[in-house]
Amino acid sequence: MIQVFSFYLFAALTILSAVFVIMSRNPVHSVLWLIMAFFNAAGLMVLVGAEFIAMLLVIVYVGAVAVLFLFVVMMLDIDFAELRAGFVKNFPLGLAIALVLLAELVFGIGAYSAGALEMGHAAAAASPQIDGASNIESIGAVLYGKYLFLFESAGIILLVAMVGAIVLTHRERKDTRGQNIGRQIRRRPQDATVNVRPEVGKGVQL
């Protein structure tokens, strides 16, 4: 009873907020609706028993990615009229993408309901849930056991992308003075101050 109620609540809110992402006039509102959609999707995942994925969705997407989205969108100076202008021109392209996604969804569901896949050794792919083990343990067993090399190569690709982004955007600035913490801590009063007693009328050599 409560499961059915929660499912329809989360599902309806996910779709509704996804619609508002593209409907709202203000980009900041769009990002906030997107966060709402992520959150409800996480709720759906909890309902199917994938609590680990649900928590990761919230931590990674809501907690980090969407914050950066929001960060960027808030900083932008957006001309709403200009934003609307491209709508008619880009409408066919958007429609084409939507149709492709719909077709993929239909094929995916059709293939799934047609029966188990027999590609190579699909036992683990078909039922990642190991009996009696929690979510995290079964994901770990699959990810760090069977698909270790795929997992590691995904990690390396991400690392390369990260290094690339830093290399592309980093610029050396010559006009700023960084703080040298080590030097500051090593510095003692006698290095910086001297005690002098000048004769009257002579002054001090600086």
Partner 1 sequence: MTEFFMNLGMNYEWAWFVATICGILLIALPLMLGVAMIIYADRKIWAAMALRRGPNVVGPFGLLQSFADGLKVFLQETIIPSAANKGLFLIAPIITFTVALLAWAVIPFNSGAILADINVGLLYVLAISSLGVYGVVIAGWASNSKYPFFSAMRAAAQMISYEVSIGFILICVVLWAGSFNMNEIVQAQKGTVLGFINGFVANPLLFPMWVLFLISGMAETARAPFDLTEAESELVAGYQTEYSSMAFALYWLGEYANVLLMCTLNAVLFWGGYLPPVDWAPLYVVPGFVWLLVKILFFFFIFSWVKATVPRYRYDQLMRLGWKVFLPMSLLWVVLVSGWLMLTRYGGAV
Q: What does the binding site for partner 1 look like in residue numbers (CB under 8 A)? A: 1-2, 28, 32, 35, 51-52, 55-56, 58-59, 62-64, 67-68, 70-71, 74-75, 134-136, 179
Q: Quick one: which of 74, 86, 61, 95 has its CA closest to 26?
A: 74
Q: CB 52 → partner 1: shortest distance, Å?
A: 6
Which CB, 107 or 144, lies closer to partner 1? 144
Q: CB 51 → partner 1: shortest distance, Å?
A: 5
Which CB, 46 or 124, lies closer to partner 1? 46
Question: Can you read off the two tokens belonging to residue 31?
Answer: 């990002």
Q: Judge contact between 41 and 57, C-beta under 8 A.
A: yes
Q: Quick one: which of 78, 71, 8 has its CA closest to 43?
A: 8
Q: CB 201 → partner 1: shortest distance, Å?
A: 42
Per-residue b/e over 75-103, b at no fewer than 16 CB within 10 Å?
Answer: eeeeeeeeeeeeeeeeeeeeeeeeeeeee
Counting DSSP H helices and E strands in the chain, the numbers are 11, 0
Which CB, 1 or 88, lies closer to partner 1? 1
Q: CB 99 → partner 1: shortest distance, Å?
A: 35
Which CB, 173 or 202, lies closer to partner 1? 173
